[in-house]
Each structure stands twice: as C-alpha cells, then as structure tokens.
Amino acid sequence: MLFMSNTALRSWGLVRGIKLSWGLTKLVQPASRLNNALQPEPYPQPARRLTTGTLRLGRLPSDFPYVTGSEHWKRKVRNLYKRYDSNADGYVTEEDFIALGKRIAEIRNLDGEKANHVIDKCLHRWEGIAGNKNKLTEDEYLQSIHSLTIQSRSRPELYHGFVSGDFKMMDIDDDGIVSKDEHVAFFYGLKVPKQFSNEMFAIMDTDKNGLITFEEFAEGFLEFWLTEDPNNKYNNFYGPLVD
C-alpha cells in the first residue's frame, strides 16, 4: 500500500522531498469512473514505500495548467490513437491491444506464459482506456482524454492509474525499471522504428545511467499529456508526430 500523509495525498500522492521505492504488488482500484470510458484501470502495480531522499520530478501534475485542447495537443493524441489502431480500420479495440502485446513479445522472443503476461498487461491498459466500450473512434478517444485532463478531480487518477499502466507495459520484466531493449520493444509494438526509441530514451534517461526509472518515465508522461508546447522535448514520447 501507499503510506502517505494527508498533505501528500492532497498533492496527488507525491511530495518533493520524498523518494519512492518499489515494494510488494497490490491491486489498486480507481476512485471513480469517468464518462463510462477512459479511466485509470485496476491493475497489479508495484506498491511503493516512502524512504529518505527526494523524488526528482520537474513538475507535479498539479503544477500544470489545464489543457485547452490546442491543435498541437490534438495532434499528439491522434498520433497515439493511430498507433494503437494496429489494423488501421478506424477503431481501437481489444484486438489492437492484443496485437500490441504480441509484437512486444515477438521482438523479445517471448512465448508461452511470458508472452501471455505481456499481452495481459496490454489488455489491462485497454480496459482502462475503453471502460465499458467495445471499440473507440478517434473522436471518442480524443474527447475522453481531453475531459480527463481538464478535470482537476481526476488528475490524481491520471497520475496513479495511467502513468503506472503505461510504465508497466514498457517494463516487460517487471523489475521496476525500463532498459533500452524494453523501450525498443514497446516502440516496436507501436510500429515505431528503433531510431526513434533511441532518441526518446536518451531524453527520458535524465541521469544518463542507461535505465529509465518510474520517476523519469512519469516526468516524460506528464509533459506529453499535460503540455501544449510544440517545442516540448517530450512531444515524441510515443514516437514521432507524423501528421
């Protein structure tokens, strides 16, 4: 479980001056459902314990202004939607996330139980995105994402649910960090060439130790989803913006 003071909880579960370390796993339940669609999913996540040190995030979720839904921001969201839509049929479905998991397992040479575990993590992500829907159009995905980002009450869920869900898809071996090979595999799952993985990994790896921690991942994630600056270095967090 998360051991946090009331002040920490009011600050979205994160406080500067606290370092989080990986502990045992538990099932984290979302606080509420949002629009019967996009919401953080229940997911077995590494629970974290407070230790001494500092959580080094440049900005916390509460530091970001509300997203206005600029054309640049919509472009980022649409690009990711198209990458999820693996068969390009104009809908994102459960089958697309199964395909994502299969591609990740393929490049990592995983089969059997290990491959199924990767696919299961992708399906958990799909459940969080879809809610009670069987498929999502691009406009539905865009509207749900925008609704989520502008609601201050849902921003803690954005952090805890979606950051963890995306991180777990990338952290293939569940060791609490993302290696270069794991990042390449995730981009391969999205059909993004390796060169773009190398470029984004170098940006995300802020301490240049060849690994991406949860904190480094979270910083890039928040910068991608909660900013509208065309020059933000994390704009290619899920691969290059192609249209």
Per-residue DSSP letter, 50 = E
pLDDT of residue 130: 87
CATH fold of 6-48+60-226: Recoverin; domain 1 (1.10.238)
For residues 235 and 194, give the distance between their C-alpha atoms in angstroms, rounded to a whole number.
17
Mean pLDDT throughout 118-124? 96
Tell me the per-residue pLDDT of 190-208, one tens digit each, with 9 for 90 and over.
Answer: 999 999 999 999 999 999 9
Instruction: Return mean pLDDT, the chain.
Output: 79
> Are 108 and 10 contacting, i.e. CB atoms less than 8 angstroms apart?
no
Mean pLDDT throughout 44-53? 36
The encoded tokens of residue 20 equal 């989080």
- Beta strand residue intervals within 131-227, DSSP E: 135-136, 177-179, 211-213
- Given a cut of 90, whether residue 42 has pLDDT beyond it is no
For residues 240 and 232, give the distance between their C-alpha atoms in angstroms, rounded to a whole number.
13
Render 221-242 in DSSP notation, one character per residue.
Answer: HHHHHH---TT-TTTTBTB---
Tell me the per-residue pLDDT of 71-120, one tens digit each, with 9 for 90 and over.
Answer: 999 999 999 999 999 999 999 999 999 999 999 999 999 999 999 999 99
> Are 222 and 159 contacting, i.e. CB atoms less than 8 angstroms apart?
yes
Residue 20, SS3? strand
What residue ranges do the domains of the chain occupy? Answer: 6-48+60-226
In terms of Cα–Cα distance, which of 217, 204, 210 is closest to 181? 210
